[in-house]
Structure 1
Amino acid sequence: MFNASSEGFVESKKKNYISVEDREDILLETMDSGGTSGISVEAYPRLSTQDYQNVALLVVLYLLQGIPVGLAFGSVPFLLKSKLSYSEIGLFSLATYPYSLKLIWSPIVDAIYSKRVGRRKSWIIPIQLLTGSLFYWLGKHVDVMFNQEKPDVNTLTLLFFILIFFSATQDIAVDGWALTLLSKNSLSYASTAQTIGLNTGYFLSFTVFLAFNSAEFSNKYFRKEPIDNGFLSMGSYLTFWSVVYLLVTIWLIFIKGEDATHSSDEMDIKTVYRTIWNICKMPHMRRLIVVLLVAKIGFIANESVTGLKLLEKGFSKEDLALAVLIDFPIQLLVGYYAARWSNGPQPLKPWTIAFYGRLFFAAVGMIVVYVFPTDKKISTEMFSLVIASTVMSSFMSTVQFVSISAFFTIIADPVIGGTYMTLLATFSNFGGTWPRFFVLEAVDYFTEATCKIVKDNTTSIIQCVSEQGKTICKDNGGTCVVHKDGYYIVSIATITIGTILLLGFVFPQIKALQTLPPKMWRLKK
C-alpha cells in the first residue's frame, strides 16, 4: 500500500519525480468510455542506477518492519501455544492491532517533521532507534519470560504491542517516502519492494527462526551430540537485529539524504482528519468499508487456529516452518502475476475468485486437522497434504491481497493519495484482525475436555481445556479426554457465515463497486 503525504507530488524535471497531474494521468490513462477503470502503464520499466539504489533501500526498510511483524503474527503464538490456552493466545493477538489501526495517527506522522532532517527521516530514524533499543532489551530478558512455566501473557502482549506500534509507524513513513524516493517511471517498483521486504522479514522471523529455534531441527542438521535447546534463541535473534537496526539507522543519518518536499496545498492535521471523515461518508465508500470489515470472517478460523491445532496434534514446528519455506517463493511469483491479472477492467475479479478458493481451503484445513493421526506418526501422504493445503490457502490470500491493492490504487484520489490508500488499507487489514481475538476465545469457550485423576483411592474430575489443566492432568497420571472440540464448531460457523456473506452481500457489492469510474471515488472540490 502506498502512504504518501497529504500534499501533492512535487514535479521536478531534474529528478523526474511524479506530480499530482502525472500521477492522475497514470491512474486514469486507459479508462474506457463505459466508465470502468484500468491502468496501462508499463508494469516494470527499466531502473536507473539511482532507482536501483533507492529500491534496495526500500527493501531493507520494509524488511526491518517485517522482523517484529513475523514474530508477533507468527513465531510467538506458536512458541507460547504449549503453555497458553487459545483464549490467552487470543489476548496476545491484540498486540497486532496497531498495524491495522495506523490510520488513526497517520496524519500526525505526515504533518509533523523536521525540515532539516527530512519529512520521512524525521520519523524513520527515531522509530528505528527505539525499535532497536527495545530489541536489545528484550534480547537480555525475553528468554527468561518464555521459559517460565506460565509466561506473563499481559507483559508480552504489551511489549509486542509497542513493537508493532513502532513498525506500523515506520510503515507510514516508508510508504510515503517511496512515492517521492523513486522516479515517476519506476513507482510500480515501490509495491514490489514492499512485497519482497515485508515477506522476507516475515519469513526470517517466522520460518527461519522457528526452524533454528527448534532443538530437533538443530540436532538433526548442526550437531553431533544432541542437546535440549535450539541453535538460535529468541534473545540472541533479537540482539542480532538490534545491531542491524542501529547500523541501518546510522547509515540513514550520515549518508542517505532526503530531498525536501513542499506544497502550497499542504494540509494541517485537522484538515486531514476532516478529509478522512468526508471520504468515509461517501455512500459507495461506506459499502466498500463494510465489505472489507466482514470479508475475512469465512477463513479467519483457518488462518488463526489451524496451524496451532496441528502443532497441538503433533505436527512439529520445524515441519511447519518447512511448509512456509516452500510457500515463500511461490507467493513472490504469485504476487507478480496476480498484479498483471488485476490490471484490467475488472480488477476485483481475481479477488472474487480467490475468495471462493480461501473458503474451500479453509474447509480443507479443517479436514486435515480432523484426519491428522493421533499417534503423531506422520506419513509422507499426510505431510504432503498439510503442505499442499497450507500453500494453496496462502496462494489464495496473496491473490486477494494483490487484487484489492490494485483496486485501491485505481480509486484513490491522487491529490490525497497517501491518506486515501492508508484509509483503505486500514479497513482491509482490520477486517482480518478484529475477528481473530473472538475466534480464539470461542475455540476455548465451545471446547469441553475433562480429566479423571485417581489419587489415594479418590477419583476427581477436572477441566483440561487450558494448557495449565492439561499439565495438571498429565502430572497426576490422568488422560485429558476431549468431548467436544470448539475448533470444529468455530470453523464450520465461520465458513458458513463467510459463504452466506459472499453470495448474499460481498459478491453483489463488489460487482457493482468495481464498475464505478474513478471520479466517483473522489471528494468534490
Structure 2
Amino acid sequence: MAASKRGANGVAKEGEAGPATCKDTDEKEGPSLRSEWSSVLVLVVLYALQGVPLGLSMGSMPFLMQARMSYTAIGIFSFAAYPYSFKLLWSPVVDASALPGLGRRKSWIVPLQLLSGAVMLLGGAHAQARLDAGDALGVTLAFFALVLLAATQDVAVDGWALELLSPRNVGWASTCQTVGMNVGYFLSFTVFLALSDPDFCNARLRAPDQASDGGIVTLAGYLRFWGWAYLVLTLAIAALKKEGGRPRPAPAVDNEIFGEGAALCLNHAEPDGHAALHAVPLAAECGAAARHDVEAEHSAAAPTVSQAYWQLLRVINLPAVKRLAVVLIVCRLGMLPAEAAAALKLLEKGVSKEALAALVLLEFPMEMVSAMVAGRWAASGRPFHPWLLGYKVRLVLAALSTAAVYLFPSGAQSLTDAPVAFAAVAALGVATSFCSTLMFTAMGSFYNIISDPSMGGAYLTLLNTIANIGITVPKFFVFAAMDSLTRRVCVDGSSGRPLPGLPGDTCPASAAGHSHSAPAHAACVAAGGECIVLRDGFYTVSALSILAGLAILLWLRADLPRLEALPQSAWRAPLGKKPRPAKDKEL
C-alpha cells in the first residue's frame, strides 16, 4: 500500500532528498514482546488497579442499590463515573508536569495510587453507612472521589504505556489495558458481589449451622483490603520499575516550518500499527535539514501546560477527530439500555444475586480470550473491521437480551428453577462480553495507531474521554426514562381490579418501590392488594434505542472505512500555530 501511495504522489528522483529515504526504514525492527515482559506486567497491574473502583461503581454498586433505591437514583449514581468522561479537562496538567527525581509518569501514578489507598482505608466505613441508609447522593460522592483519582492515574498510565513499549509492540498496550481492567472489574463485580451476598455465602461457603443474614465480605471490608493492596503494589512499582521507556518522539512537524520533505514523509505514514509511532521520527529524519534551525525550539522536553492545552485544541479541531468523536459518542446508544438495565430487571423478577454473579463468572474467561483474539485481529492493520462486526452482533444481542428478560419466568431464583431461561441469559451474556471486549480492544488499537506520541498520554486521553462520554452521560437519562415510562398500580389480589382510595404513589415505578419491604408497597399489601406492572419502561426505551442503533449502523458502514483510510497526517496537529478552521477538502 505504501508503494502505491508513493507512486501516486511521485517518488523523489535519484539523488534528491524526499520521502523515498523513509522507505528504507524497517518498521518491524525492535525488541520482541517477550523481552518487554516486565513492562507488560506493570501495565497490566496498573490497569487492574484502575478496574477495582470501576468494577464497584459500574458493576456491583447498582446491584447493591437496587433493593434500596429507584432507577432514577441509580442513574444519579452514574455520575460517579463522570471523572473518566471528563478527565480531558485536567489531562494536560498531568501530561505536562512532573516532580523532579521521580519521573514524568511516576510523579503522578505513585502519589495518586497512595492517595487512593488511603481513601479506601479511611472512607470504606462511610461508603458502607451511606449505602445502608439508602443515600444515593452520599454513595455517589464517595465513589466520585475514588473514580476521580483512578481517572487521573489513567492519564499518566496511558502516556507511560506509549513510552514503556517499543514501537513494534505498542499495539499491545490496548491488550494490556483490556486484560488488566477486566481483572480488576471481575474482582470488584463478580467476586465481590458473590462474597457479599448472604445466600451465596450460606449455600457455598458456610456450614449449615453458621448461616448468617450477611455476606462474608462487606463493602467497607472490601475497600480496606484494596486500600492495603494499593499501598503495597504502588510502593513496589515505585521501587522496582524505572521510568525508562523509549525517548520521547519529536513533535509533529508543520509543513511551513520543516519543509516539504517532512510533510511528505508524514503523508506516507501507513496506519498499520507501527507507522503511527514511526511517522514523527521519520518525518524529522527526512526533513532534518529544514528543521535544524528550529530544533532547539521543538525539543524532546515535556510541553508546558498552556502548550498542552493549545495542542489539544488543535487536535480537537481536526476534521478526522471530529468525525471519530461523533462515532464514539453515538455508537453505544443502540445497546446501552439492554446492557445497563437487563440484569437489574432480572433481579426485579426474583433472580438471586448469587445466580447473577455465577453468570458473570462465565463471562470472565471469555473476556480474557476475546482480548487476545482482538489484539491479534486488530494488529492486522484494519481495526475497524472487527469493531464493526462486534457492533452488528452486539446490536442483535441487545434485542435478544431484551426479549430474554421479557420471557424470563418471574420468581425463578436459580438455575434449577428455570434451566433453559438461565442458559439463554448466560449465552447472551458471554456473547455480549466477547463482542464488547472485541470492540474495546479493536478501538484501542486504532487509538494507538493514530495517536501522536509527542503528546504523551494526552491524545489517548482525549479519545478515551470522548468514548466514555458516550457511555456515562446517556446512562442517567436511560434510567430516568425507564422510571418515567413505567406504570404500576395496586390491584385486588383476587379480582385483579385496581383498589380505590390509595395514594397515587402507592406503587411507584422504581425497583425499590416494587420491593415487598418498601413502605409504599406495604401500603398496597395492607389494603389487601398487590402491585402489578401495567407498562414497563425498560422495554420501550430498549426498543427505541435498538431502532436508533440500526440507523447508526447504516452510517457507520459508510463512514468507518473512510476514517480508517485517512493518512497519518490527518490525525496530527502541527505545532507552532494557533488552531485554525479545518478545511473539509483535507478529508
Equivalent residue for 1:88, pick from 47, 55, 73? 73
Equivalent residue for 1:320, pick from 343, 356, 364? 356
Once the two structures are superposed, residues 352-371 of structure 1 have per-residue CA deviations (whole angstroms, 9 ceiling, x without a partner) of: 12111111011001001100
Equivalent residue for 1:282, pick from 303, 309, 318? 318
Distance 1:294 1:162 in 2: 27
Distance 1:289 1:403 in 2: 16
1:405: which partner in 2? 444
CA contact (8 A) 1:450 1:461 kept: no
Is 1:340 aligned to 2:388, yes or no? no
2:155: which partner in 1? 172
SS in 2 for 1:118: coil
Equivalent residue for 1:210, pick from 193, 198, 203? 193
1:330: which partner in 2? 366
1:475: which partner in 2? 522
Distance 1:31 1:437 in 2: 46
CA contact (8 A) 2:48 2:182 kept: yes
1:381: which partner in 2? 420
Using structure 2 for the length normalisation, give the TM-score: 0.78
Distance 2:189 2:339 in 1: 15
Distance 1:332 1:319 in 2: 21
Which amino acid in 1 is paired with 2:424?
L
Is 1:491 aligned to 2:491, yes or no? no
Which amino acid in 2 is paired with 1:334?
S
**Which stretch has the larger CA shift, 191-200 or 445-454?**
445-454
Distance verdict in 2 for CA 1:61–1:276, change over 3 Å: same
Deviation at 1:245, TM superposition (A): 1.3
Distance verdict in 2 for CA 1:409–1:71, change over 3 Å: same
Deviation at 1:483, TM superposition (A): 0.9
How high is the sequence identity, in percent, across the aligned residues? Answer: 41
Distance 1:146 1:280 in 2: 39
Once the two structures are superposed, residues 451-510 of structure 1 have per-residue CA deviations (whole angstroms, 9 ceiling, x without a partner) of: 2589xx98425332135543124323131111111001100111111111221x222211
Deviation at 1:223, TM superposition (A): 1.2
CA contact (8 A) 1:450 1:481 kept: yes
Which amino acid in 1 is paired with 2:435?
M
Which amino acid in 2 is paired with 1:501?
I
Deviation at 1:142, TM superposition (A): 3.0
Which amino acid in 2 is paired with 1:206?
F
Is 1:462 aligned to 2:504, yes or no? yes
Unpaired stretches in structure 1, ≥5 consecutive residues: 1-29
Using structure 1 for the length normalisation, give the TM-score: 0.87
Deviation at 1:345, TM superposition (A): 4.9
SS in 2 for 1:479: strand
**Larger RCO, structure (CA 8 Å, separation 6 or more):** 1
SS in 2 for 1:83: coil
Is 1:47 aligned to 2:34, yes or no? yes
Distance 2:386 2:172 in 1: 21
Once the two structures are superposed, residues 10-45 of structure 1 have per-residue CA deviations (whole angstroms, 9 ceiling, x without a partner) of: xxxxxxxxxxxxxxxxxxxx7463599xx9759993
Distance verdict in 2 for CA 1:68–1:42, change over 3 Å: farther
Deviation at 1:512, TM superposition (A): 1.7
Deviation at 1:320, TM superposition (A): 1.4
2:203: which partner in 1? 220
Distance verdict in 2 for CA 1:40–1:356, change over 3 Å: farther
Which amino acid in 2 is paired with 1:284?
A
1:518: which partner in 2? 568
Once the two structures are superposed, residues 318-356 of structure 1 have per-residue CA deviations (whole angstroms, 9 ceiling, x without a partner) of: 221112211111111112122222233532111112111
Which amino acid in 2 is paired with 1:340?
R
1:105: which partner in 2? 90
**Which stretch has the larger CA shift, 182-191 or 64-73?**
182-191
1:59: which partner in 2? 44
Distance 2:433 2:538 in 1: 20
Describe how 1:48-197 pairs up with structure 2 within 5 A: 48=35, 51-148=36-133, 151-183=134-166, 185-197=168-180
Which amino acid in 1 is paired with 2:140?
T
CA contact (8 A) 1:44 1:188 kept: no
CA contact (8 A) 1:280 1:286 kept: yes
Which amino acid in 2 is paired with 1:474?
H
Deviation at 1:180, TM superposition (A): 2.8
Distance 1:31 1:85 in 2: 56
SS in 2 for 1:229: coil
Distance 1:436 1:40 in 2: 42
SS in 2 for 1:374: coil
Distance verdict in 2 for CA 1:285–1:447, change over 3 Å: same
Distance verdict in 2 for CA 1:426–1:273, change over 3 Å: same
SS in 1 for 2:399: helix
The number of residues matched between the two structures is 487
Distance 1:437 1:44 in 2: 46
Distance verdict in 2 for CA 1:347–1:34, change over 3 Å: farther
Describe how 1:349-388 pairs up with structure 2 within 5 A: 349-376=385-412, 378-388=417-427
Deviation at 1:67, TM superposition (A): 0.7
2:468: which partner in 1? 429
SS in 1 for 2:350: coil
Deviation at 1:415, TM superposition (A): 2.9
Deviation at 1:74, TM superposition (A): 0.3
Is 1:242 aligned to 2:227, yes or no? yes
Distance 2:396 2:467 in 1: 21
Deviation at 1:99, TM superposition (A): 1.1
SS in 1 for 2:502: strand
Deviation at 1:196, TM superposition (A): 2.1
Deviation at 1:249, TM superposition (A): 2.9
1:501: which partner in 2? 552
Unpaired stretches in structure 2, ≥5 consecutive residues: 9-25, 249-298, 494-498, 576-587
